[in-house]
Structure 1
Amino acid sequence: MGDIRALERADLPAVMALLREGLPGFPLDEEGLAAAAFEDPWRDEELPSLVATESGRVVGFIRSQARPMLFDGRAVRGVCLSDLVVSPGHRRGAAGAMLLGRLLKGPQDVSWSDSATDFVVRAWRTFGGHVDHARAADFMLVLRPLRWIAAIAAARVRGRDVGRALMPVGALPAHAAGPRISGHRAPEQEPGVSGEDAGPAAIAAALPAIRGRVRLMVDWDEPQLAATLRRIEALGGDLIVRLVRRGEAPIGWYACLSRRGGAARVLHLAADERAVGAVFSDLVAAAAAAGATVLTGRAEPHLERPLRERLA
Structure 2
Amino acid sequence: MPEIRPLRADDLPVVADMFQRVLRKRRSPAPATLASYLQRLYLDSTDGSAGSPSLVHVAENGRVSGFVGVTSLPMRFGETRLNASICGSLMVDEDQRNDLSGARLLKAFLAGPQDISFSETASDVTANMWTTLRGTILPQHSLDWIKVIKPASFTIAGAKVRVPMARFAAPLARAADAGLRLRRSGEFSRWFGARDAAATLGRYTVADIDQDGFARLLGNFTSRFAVHPEWNDALLARIMADASAKQDFGAPFRCRVSSRTGAVIGAFMYFGRAGEIGHVLQVLALPGQAGAVIDCLIAHAATTGLAAVRGRTQPALLEAMLGRQIIFINVNSTVVHARDPELVRQFQAGNGFFNGLVGEHWSRIFGDRFD
Q: Tell me the TM-score normalised to structure 2 length.
A: 0.70
1:241 corresponds to 2:254: yes
- The AA in structure 2 aligned to 1:304 is L
| Structure 2: tracts of 5 or more residues without a match | 168-179, 327-371
Once residues 75 and 163 of structure 2 are traced to their aligned partners in structure 1, the CA distance between those partners, rounded to angstroms, is 49
Listed as ranges, the gaps of 5+ residues in structure 1 are 162-174
Q: In the alignment, is residue 186 of structure 1 matched against residue 173 of structure 2?
A: no
Equivalence for 1:306: 320
How far 1:212 sits from its partner (Å)?
A: 6.7
Task: State the alpha-carbon separation in 2 of the partners of residues 137 and 220 from structure 1.
Answer: 26
- Match for residue 229 of structure 2 among 201, 207, 218: 218
- Tell me which residue corresponds to 2:127: 121
Spell out the pairing of 1:1-312 with structure 2 (5 A cutoff).
1-25=1-25, 29-40=34-45, 43-46=47-50, 47-54=52-59, 55-72=61-78, 74-145=80-151, 147-148=153-154, 160=166, 179-182=184-187, 184=190, 186-187=196-197, 188-189=199-200, 193-207=204-218, 209-211=220-222, 213-236=224-247, 237-246=250-259, 247-312=261-326
Between the aligned partners of 2:164 and 2:101, the Cα distance in structure 1 is: 43
How far residue 146 of structure 1 moved from its aligned partner, in angstroms, is: 5.2
Aligned-residue offset at 1:213: 4.2
Q: Structure 1, residues 25-76: CA drift from partner, whole Å, max 9, x if none?
A: 5999223222211343x54444311111134321110011111122246422
Amino acid corresponding to residue 253 of structure 2 in structure 1: I
Contact 2:215/2:240 (<8 A) preserved: no
SS at match of 1:270: strand
Counterpart amino acid of residue 32 in structure 1: Y
SS at match of 1:206: helix
4+ residue segments displaced more than 4 Å = 25-28, 149-161, 175-179
8 Å CA contact retained: 1:276, 1:306: yes
Q: In structure 2, do the counterparts of structure 1 residues 44 and 189 end up closer, same or farther at CA, with 3 Å as the change threshold? A: farther
Measure, in 2, the Cα distance between the counterparts of 1:192 and 1:157. 41
Q: CA RMSD in A?
A: 3.3
Give a deviation string over 1:220-264, Cα, whole Å, max 9, x none. 444333322332333301111223233343332222121331111
Q: Letter of the aligned partner of 2:294 in structure 1?
A: F
Q: Which has the higher contact order (CA 8 A, sep 6+)?
A: 2
* Structure-1 separation of matches of 2:112 and 2:158: 46
In 2 relative to 1, CA 295–152 (structure 1 residues): closer, same or farther, beyond 3 Å? closer
Deviation by residue 1:103-127 (Cα, 9 ceiling, x = unmatched): 1111222111111223312211111
- Secondary structure at the residue paired with 1:108? coil
The alpha carbon displacement at 1:191 in A equals: 6.4
Q: Alpha-carbon deviations, 1:162-213, whole Å to 9, x = none? A: xxxxxxxxxxxxx999641226462533666323222343234334543474
Letter of the 2:119 partner, please give it.
S
The whole-number CA distance in structure 2 between the counterparts of 1:157 and 1:123 is 33
Aligned residues: 299
Aligned-partner Cα distance in 2 for 1:92–1:151: 36
Contact 2:4/2:105, CA 8 A, preserved across alignment: yes
* Deviation larger for 55-64 or 222-231: 222-231
Shift of 1:5: 1.4
Contact conserved, 2:215 with 2:237, CA < 8 A, in 1?
A: no
Q: Give SS of 1:309's match.
A: coil
Q: 1:23 to 1:177 in 2, by over 3 A?
A: farther
